Structure 1
Amino acid sequence: MSCISDWEVVIAEQLTAGKAGEDLHEKRPPSIPLTVAPGASAVRAASITAQIRAGPCEVKDVSQRTPCPHSGDARAVRSLREAHDALLDAAALVDQAYGLPLLGSLAANFVHFISALNLMLAVKLRYQVISHGHADLLILISSCWALLHVICVLAVTGVSSAAAAETRQIPRLVHKALLPITDVGTSDAQLREQLQLFSQQVMHQRLCFTAWGFFTIDLTIVLSMVGAVTTYLVIYLQFSATH
């Protein structure tokens, strides 16, 4: 640090004497990036020497600020944009390949759940004449099958909904990253541009999985199934009561 202290004295002398910044540029060490305007006062010299002690990236005066290497951050954001685009392409291929099987799986689980529920109600309400010991066993087996179908539906819809929810967090994180950027220097401008492009990319490219295009697979499907099952139970009980 002794060489830096000696150079601070030289800076103060040059500024006080009003010498040109070009002469100072020729004499200063290359490791200290500093631009000095001619004719500055001694007070200005003291301020600059204090800024040198703070380090080249800590200069608060915009005219004397040395750009920090933020270009690496801009490249990192661009890499995230490319990774996000690749993941969406992969998700589109998965949706195209497994959309029809998922539609069949959800439909089969729903129908089997209705059948198991129908059997339980028939045995419990004694619409089917079965011995007491066999009736309890049949209700237990039907309950296990119904629970299995519910778990299958929740597994498919839960994973799809969780993946979509994670992608919805990206815009919030991107806008939080935009807040501390001051747009001072080329590197900050590049970083802000990449973050804004990333935000637009996420807004226009949303992740979702569909059942062969018929409906979006998420947890709202469970609510629709619950409503359909409730409607079926009401109709079934009313129809059974009239007979």
Structure 2
Amino acid sequence: MSKAVNAAYGIQNLVEVVSCFVSIVTYIYINVVVFLNLKVVWPEIPSSQVIIMFSMWTGLMVGRLLTTAYSSDMVVQETVRTQRLVQKLLLLPLPARSGCPDELQLFGEQIARSRLRYSAAGFFTLDLSLLRSFTATVTTYVVILVQFGLSGASKQQSGSAAECRC
């Protein structure tokens, strides 16, 4: 059942994570641009309101990502817990005629053989370790975008200074 769920929602999970990534990078970049006064985003809205608004949108996207990664990780942990419970049940004396020991043995072997992992269409696994790499990647992209923004702003200032001298 879990393989069917993973296959059915793999592309949707990929789209969800990618859209969260793009949104978070964009919203954090806009916050940094407004905070550093690199550009005027909305002239009629105070910069503090723009920062608050995009911080709230960033929080929403982080929440979406957290719920996706956390729920996937919890299902995997519950599978491990179920495997331990089946092993404990096998240690209990059960009547042989009921067929329970054989069924439990088969179920335990099936759980042990097929490790459950949710993925985003096979590109990466959805678990809590995703958050660590996601944070590092977002930070890298924001730093690169800010560096490009700063170099563009310095070129504009030097170009306008040269125009004033003429």
TM-score by length of 2: 0.77
In the other structure, the counterpart of 1:118 is 29
Amino acid at match of 1:211: A
**Aligned partner letter, 1:157:** A
- Percentage identity across aligned positions? 32
Distance in 1 (CA, whole Å) between partners of 2:5 and 2:106 is 26
For residues 95 and 179 of structure 1, the distance between their equivalents in structure 2, rounded to whole angstroms, comes to: 32
Partner secondary structure for residue 120 of structure 2: coil
Amino acid aligned to 2:108? S
For normalisation by structure 1, the TM-score amounts to 0.54
After TM superposition, the structure 1 = structure 2 runs for residues 26-37 of structure 1, keeping only pairs within 5 Å, are: none
Q: Deviations over 1:192-235 (max 9, x none)?
A: 44332221111112333221111121222111111112223444
Structure 1, residues 149-173: CA drift from partner, whole Å, max 9, x if none? 1011111111111111111111211
Query: What is the Cα deviation at residue 189 of structure 1?
Result: 9.8
Match of 2:47 among 116, 135, 147: 135
Q: Closer, same or farther in 2 for the Cα pair 1:228/1:213, shift >3 Å?
A: same
- What is the correspondence of 1:195-214 to structure 2 with a 5 Å cutoff? 195-214=104-123
State the match for 1:27 in structure 2: none
Partner residue, 1:50: none
Root-mean-square deviation over aligned CA pairs: 2.7
Shift of 1:138: 0.6
Task: Identify the residue that residue 161 of structure 1 maps to in structure 2.
Answer: 73
SS across alignment from 2:46: helix
Q: Give the secondary-structure state (helix, strand or coil) at the position aligned to 1:211.
A: coil
Q: Which amino acid aligns with 1:150?
A: V
Q: CA deviation at 1:102?
A: 1.7
Distance 2:48 2:63 in 1: 23
Matched, 1:220 2:129: yes
The letter of the residue matching 2:138 is: V
Cross-structure match for 1:97: 8
Matched letter for residue 20 of structure 2: N
SS in 2 for 1:218: coil
Corresponding residue SS for 1:196: helix
- Number of matched pairs: 151
Deviation at 1:236, TM superposition (A): 4.5
Unaligned runs of at least 5 residues, structure 1 = 1-87
